[in-house]
Chains A and B, each alone.
Chain A
Amino acid sequence: MKQHTRAKSEVFVPSGQIQFGVFFQGVNSGTIWKAPESGSQTDFESFRRIAQTAERGLFAAFFLGEGLRLREHLGRPHALDVVGRPDAQTMLAALASVTKNIGLVATQNTTYNDPADLAHRLASLDLVSGGRAAWNIVTTDNAWTGANFRRGGYLDHADRYKHAEAFVETAKRIWDSWETPDGPARRVLHEGRRYTVDVTPRLPRSAQYRPVLFQAGDSPEGRNFAARQADVIFSAHPKFEDAVAFRKDLVERSLAAGRGANAVQIMPASEFILAPTAAEAAEKKEWVRSLQIGPQQAIAYLEQFWGRELSAYDPDGPLPEIDPVVEETSETRGSGFHGAKARQLADQWRAEAKDKGLSIRQFVTSKTARIDSTFTGSYTAVADQLAEYARVGAVDGLNISPWLVPSGLDDIVNHLVPELQERGVYPTEYRGATLREHLGLETPVRSADEAVAAVRA
């Protein structure tokens, strides 16, 4: 295997390169389903087309998200947004047979899985794909999701990363367990507060040694966890100044964790709205937003915070004058919003909207998630912008959420990628056969433990 290792350094050295990943979200409000060209969110052909387009554009990785309970709105499944997606690892195993190079990243949480079972399935995906698998580690912890599982909702929010860390350590031991490619395998024991695992692993190491580890979580605990355990962090900070600050923060945490300044790569979530000219791109953005946040979506967004039906309100009128019915906000469950005092929030928002002269629809459009993560403009302008990201090392890559399926990557691959290649900041070929090689990550070193590797936590 070719190796692209960088010496462990105390100083962050920008690679001068940008990589792309594609995040096929499957459940979200950002994917347009109302346009005539909007395809199926579940048919295999949609996934195949996106993955193969990404591969044509030399994307490092194809990501699938995970949510283990359907989001709800006012006590019922949420009706307005894209919902319902295939299981990540099953879909990625299928995509492995129709792609050759692209990395295959499965978002899988540490709370509703068993470590030995998940480690085995990820090792399987890694082997059948020839060393292209990765695990995007998430730490869902609510009892509401737990209602779908035998073990139930047993994990406190405060414990989510403690548990995740023991889980990941155990998975690493399992992947580490084969002495040589032919065996024998070491028995792995873990006696934890949540689990006891006693297993002799069945699968050898893959062409990339073990699955690449991504982490998606933003709290200080989440970042520390990434600094200790992950190869790449799937961040929520693509805006230039935020990205630079996030890099600085993560470098400090990596060094504190005893790893090099370049040990953890950063790939923020992002959205691209591109056209030949700036004016056309701006127009396209209006169109995209109008389809992402239609009148019903705008009202429903406020309903999450008001905790009551607001369908009598005009989406093109001012924010509702009536007050929320709940003290704490009633979030769209599973969407990741955090509670705030509802009444206070309503007052604040009404004032803000009035101040800026925004209707409900305009206000919600200005508030919703992807605003901060959008790169809008002409192909050349956005290529210049990204070249600057590469020059300072603001990010290692961007994880693109297409707003159209399955054609959403076409203009990026056809127009933006060549511009970036001309600027020398984007790969012109896959660097090797494995995801670890595409990303230029170090090959892990097998731990030199005794025959029985025991972890306690």
Chain B
Amino acid sequence: MSTFENPGFLAIELDGAGWDGADLTRAVLAAESAGFHAATFTDAPAPGRANALQRAAFAGPVTRSIALVPEVDTVYTEPFHISTQLASLDYVSGGRAGWIVTAAGSPEAAAAVGRSSVTGAALGQEAAASIEVSRRLWDSWEDDAVIRDVATGRYIDVDKLHYADFQTPAGFPGAGYSVKGPSIIPRPLQGQLPVLAPASLIGGIPVDALDAVLVSAPTPELLAAEVRDVRARVGAGVAVVAELDVVLDARGQAAAARGASFDGGRAAFAGSAPGLTDFLADLLKEADGVRLHPASLFVDLEELGRWVLPELRRRGALRPVVQDGTFRDLLGLDRPASRYATAAAAPAGAGK
């Protein structure tokens, strides 16, 4: 994966668009017309941030090609709700939904729902359990469960509905629980939504539960090495996405003078659009995708759309954007059969 024989994709974090409907529309349309492949929505407990999944849902009907990928916490959110909300996002976006798994470790998140806080390795285990619940529930209706058979009066074929019967594994750190199923919504359009998680949760989350990992490094110089490192751990079947904060020279102001404050923990690129283009072109030889976190959404998005993405496309570094394509298509993933589908229809190991 070291040349543009495998062009990559670009995602942009739209947090700066706030909660206002008009701003959200403007941001996601700007990102789509700039040629971004995916928009992400953070769920960190910061003031003024509306629910990430709802912001993604709002963006669904006004867009045609951009994947919509909210962060959803797995520790203090009911897994059943997560699963049905994400499946619904897939319906309202025409199969362009994904999920960035997060695991809230803050005492504030625990206090809000009156639970004791979860930390350390337990976070990954909580996340893994929630992912497994969601994946089972998404599969709990086989694709052709809705039959609408007038002759027999049956709307669904109950043989194609399945109880998820999830039970937290032995040694689960928090209070164990079970989820019965089936889902209350038919299988999502993509069958299974692509599931992404930060590399820091790998271990707690088994690699084969994920479709992509988000990789951070402290500096831009270390990012490609970190990507290679994670790639070695997860293999070729899981997409590797590099995380990058970005502030560009814009509107006659040097990037350094724009006073961007990044929250740390992520590599930050400050400089000119051509400089960023070169940097991304190199990075995309190692990573399947890069997620950009712009310092100022609208200012940097304009620069990116005008200078950076067109040049990356010209160089062949980017995958084509497919109108009405699914997020799985973008990631090069097949649509899996339901794990519960009858043996003949389901190859072994399918269903991720």
Which residues from chain A sit less than 8 Å from chain B, CB to CB? Answer: 27, 33-34, 38, 42-44, 48, 67-70, 76-77, 79-87, 89-91, 93-98, 112-114, 116-117, 120-121, 123-125, 127-130, 147-150, 152, 183, 185, 195-200, 202-204, 294-297
Contacts and interface: CB of A to CB of B under 8 A. Distances in A.
B62 interface: yes
A80 B154 contact: yes
Contacts of B50: 123-124, 127-128, 203
Contacts of A297: 153
Interface centre among B45, B92, B152, B156 (most CB of A within 10 A): B92
Contact of A94 (B47, B57, B78, B80): B57
Nearest to A298: B153
Contact of A202 (B48, B78, B81, B179): B48
Contacts of A93: 53-55, 57-58
A149 B57 contact: no
Looking at B46, B81, B179, which has the most chain A CB atoms within 10 Å of its CB?
B81
B241 to A, nearest CB: 24
A19 B48 CA distance: 34
A87 B80 contact: no
B85 A89 contact: yes
30 contacts: A44-B61, A68-B80, A69-B184, A77-B161, A80-B155, A84-B185, A86-B88, A90-B88, A94-B57, A94-B58, A97-B21, A97-B24, A97-B59, A97-B61, A97-B62, A112-B78, A113-B81, A121-B54, A128-B19, A130-B20, A149-B177, A195-B114, A197-B112, A198-B114, A199-B108, A202-B46, A202-B47, A202-B48, A203-B19, A297-B153
Contacts of A81: 155
Nearest to B57: A93
A375 B186 CA distance: 32
B84 interface: yes
A198 B154 contact: no
A152 B141 CA distance: 23
A27 B146 CA distance: 13
B148 interface: yes
B91 A42 contact: yes
Interface in B287-310: none
B74 to A, nearest CB: 11
Nearest to A122: B51
B351 interface: no
B119 interface: no
Contacts of B271: none
Given A68-B184, A96-B21, A125 B114 contact: no
A125 B114 CA distance: 24
A34 B150 contact: yes
A87 B81 contact: yes
Nearest to A196: B114
Contacts of B21: 96-97, 128-130
A167 B93 CA distance: 32
